[in-house]
Amino acid sequence: MTLPQTTTAAGVPAPGTPLLEVDDLHVEFRQRSGVVHAVNGVSYELAAGQTLAILGESGSGKSVSAQAIMGILDTPPAVIRGGIRFEGRDLLTMSAEDQRKIRGPGISMIFQDALSSLNPVYSVGWQIGEMFRVHRGASRKEAKRKAVELMDRVRIPAAARRVDDYPHQFSGGMRQRVMIAMAIALDPRILIADEPTTALDVTVQAQVMDLLKDLQRETGMGLILITHDLGVVNEVADDVAVMYAGRIVERGTVDDVFTDAAHPYTDGLMKSVPQVEAKGGRLQPITGQPPNLAAIPGGCPFHPRCSHRRLGAAAAPGRECATDVPPLRLVAPGREAACHYSEEVLGV
Amino acid sequence: MTDQQQADLRHDEVQAGTTTGLASPSVDVTSDRQNSLWSDAWAYLKRSVFFWIGAVLTLLFIVMAVFPQLFARGQDPRACDLANSKARPSADHWFGYDVQGCDYMSNVVYGARNSLIIGIFAVLVVLVLGVVVGAIAGYFGGVTDGVLSRIADIFYALPLILGALVLLRVGPQTDIPIINSRGPGAVALALALFGWMTAMRLVRSQVIAVKSSDYVAAARAMGASNSRILVRHILPNAVAPVLVYTTITIGVLIAAEATLTYLGVGLQRPAFSWGLQIEAGQDSIRSAPHLVLFPSIVLTLTVMAFIMMGDALRDALDPRQRA
């Protein structure tokens, strides 16, 4: 793994192989009180230059699936099954040392809370420079020069002066930029952003998202954006995968999904967000609670909260919502949803 | 960004009449190399008054331990005259005389060597054992933690003095180096072997707390190895309590040596040590309080010097404490 960016930074992985392929990923946490099924068969692909948003509420498994890709889940208690292929190589069967070498130059990650994700005892320049010392064996002087360059690139004002400052001396937005600088230091092929703007106020959110977009345009990296913020998804992402109870329940381009949802859960999400056109009207929250991941309801996991559900005799054969698990299927060109009655939902 | 990309971007910007700031990195000001944790800490220590007071005192006692004759004002600690027994301090003999009629100042000065060897050597062993065992137990957890913690529990069950007593009683009959000597090294090792567990538990609990922090997950996500995470990211955030604990423990260990002497297994006369002197002075504390007072003062000063340095070091290692 010496200087991988010279061969891959141009944005051309081996033809036909997606950058990242997640194949039927399962993550369970075995605890004394029972097994928590955090991720239950998630599959997706990511191409270079693509932005995939993974949307879902707390506990939908979106962060856990990202941590599984990153290889930072402790196993045990976590049990990971399925396939995670980075440029065709399966991360799960690879040795720990090979996996470690991919983290940073291959896949890297931005965390939600930048203050707690930066080590309080080191200057930000040291932490950004650490990437070059760990992966490239750079000298301290070289690492510091690179750190300033990166801080400039993520538009931290007066980078050369602030490189020796400590994380607590930065504002929230600047800290998140430091985090981004660390994550993009080695020109990763894939950047996973786990709720990168949740801890920031709205104006800073927009700046950080703009920065991520610019960096992506510049380097051609694949971006996985994990969020529960519909506005962010709408602005930045090409494609969106909606997660519920550890499954992908709907997938398609952002335009399609946001215009007309094919799954009742996505539909509910859209209706629960204030919109300018509906000013003065009432918001419609999704009734009920997200499921307990240690006891996910049988059949469609969303059926207890679903307004479109059909139970017993009302259901079509093999499409009973409380007993038959709906597979993720093609419901319209380029769109997939895991609902027995997507066609009805689409019409609404 | 390569030079080519840089040039392209600048070209694009000129064409479009925009400025992103991406095309003009300001790398000119960074000629010096990257500050490390320790160089930043040293820069802080250099400006800390408490650190210098502690350091000067410590240096003074170390010089005293190596060259006691410089401080004894020309007195021989072994030239005694019983006629002077328990004589009070005077202009010629600042610390007075002890029970045997020996000049007490030279006694106290010559005691520095054994007391410092015992205090510093024992505390270093405590620190190293505590940090290494505690960090491994805390970081790896599970079975490793279980085994190491139970070993620490077993040592906890043995009282410090009883354990040291047995070790020093049996030691001279064995052929283990240091232990079989009955010198200050054996005493220090005996005290450290039965006194490292609190340091271990302090480090272990800190490491467990720091291990689950986001910045450790972030370091792992950036491809840092286990040893790098433990040494660079966890330990600097976990050593503060154990530094404070060990600096205080130096005094406790120097004093504990006196107890061992009292039980007949520590240093024995005619050796000099502050512990021995405090112990002997207690018998006549009402008639000659200076026999307890002077060795106690130097012991207190020694402990204070280490506490001041430990406190300053702890602050220096935490950027949030630095002004």
Please check whether residue B314 lies inside any domain of the structure.
Answer: yes
Number of separate domains in chain B: 1
Q: What pLDDT score was predicted for residue B14?
A: 47
Distance CA A80, CA B19 (A): 46
Cα distances from A338 to residues A46, A162, A310, in angstroms, run: 20, 49, 15
Q: What pLDDT score was predicted for residue B22?
A: 47
pTM: 0.74
Cis, bond preceding A291 (omega within 30 deg of 0): no
Report residue B33's pLDDT band, with 50, 70 and 90 as the boundaries. Answer: low
Quote the radius of gyration of chain B (alpha carbons, Å): 27
Q: Does pLDDT of B38 surpass 70?
A: yes
Q: Does pLDDT of A116 surpass 70?
A: yes
- 3-state SS of chain B is CCHHHHHHHHHHHHHHCCCCCCCCCCCCCCCCCCCCHHHHHHHHHHCCHHHHHHHHHHHHHHHHHHCHHHCCCCCCCCCECHHHCCCCCCCCCCCCECCCCEEHHHHHHHHHHHHHHHHHHHHHHHHHHHHHHHHHHHHHCHHHHHHHHHHHHHHHHCCHHHHHHHHHHHHHHCCCCCHHHCCHHHHHHHHHHCCCHHHHHHHHHHHHHHHCCHHHHHHHHCCCCHHHHHHHHHHHHHCHHHHHHHHHHHHHHHHHHHHHHHCCCCCCCCCCCHHHHHHHHHCCCCCCCHHHHHHHHHHHHHHHHHHHHHHHHHHHCCCCCCC
Q: What pLDDT score was predicted for residue A309?
A: 81
Please check whether residue B16 lies inside any domain of the structure.
Answer: no
User: Which of A128-142, A266-280, B56-70, B242-256 bottoms out in mean pLDDT, i.e. has the lowest?
Assistant: A266-280
Q: Do B29 and A108 touch (CB under 8 A)?
A: no
Report residue A134's pLDDT band, with 50, 70 and 90 as the boundaries. Answer: confident
Q: Dump pLDDT digits (tens) for B158-191.
A: 888 888 888 888 877 887 777 777 788 888 988 8
Please check whether residue B31 lies inside any domain of the structure.
Answer: no
ipTM: 0.77
Q: What pLDDT score was predicted for residue A11?
A: 42
Please check whether residue B20 lies inside any domain of the structure.
Answer: no
Q: Which residues of A touch B24 (CB under 8 A)?
A: 152
Closest-CA residue of A relative to B36 is A126
| Total CB pairs under 8 A between chain A and B | 131
Report residue A7's pLDDT band, with 50, 70 and 90 as the boundaries. Answer: very low
Q: What pLDDT score was predicted for residue B28?
A: 42
Q: What pLDDT score was predicted for residue A276?
A: 72
Distance CA A104, CA B239 (A): 28
Please check whether residue B12 lies inside any domain of the structure.
Answer: no
Whether chain A has a CB inside 8 Å of the CB on B35: the answer is: yes
Q: DSSP string of A224-263?
A: EEEES-HHHHHHH-SEEEEEETTEEEEEEEHHHHHHS-SS
CB-nearest partner of A121 from B29, B223, B317 = B317
Q: What percent of chain B has pLDDT over 70?
A: 88
Mean pLDDT on A37-51: 87
Q: Do A143 and B34 touch (CB under 8 A)?
A: yes
Please check whether residue B59 lies inside any domain of the structure.
Answer: yes
Cα distances from A182 to residues A126, A185, A205, B128, in angstroms, run: 10, 5, 18, 33
Q: Do A134 and B224 touch (CB under 8 A)?
A: yes
Which of B30, B208, B229, B314 best probes binding to A when mutated, by most A CB atoms within 10 angstroms?
A: B30
* Average pLDDT in chain A: 83
Question: Can you tell me which residue has the tokens 């932490």?
Answer: A127
Look up residue B98 and give its two tokens: 């002890």
Question: Can you tell me which residue has the tokens 């019983």?
Answer: B82
Q: Is A170 helix (H, G, I), strand (E, B) or coil?
A: coil
Q: What pLDDT score was predicted for residue B147?
A: 96
Strands of A335-337's sheet in order across: A107-110, A190-194, A222-227, A51-55, A239-244, A247-253, A335-337, A329-332
* Average pLDDT in chain B: 82
Please check whether residue B248 lies inside any domain of the structure.
Answer: yes
Mean pLDDT on A176-192: 88
Determine the structural domain holding residue B259 and report its residue range: 36-321
Whichever domain contains B277, its CATH number is 1.10.3720.10
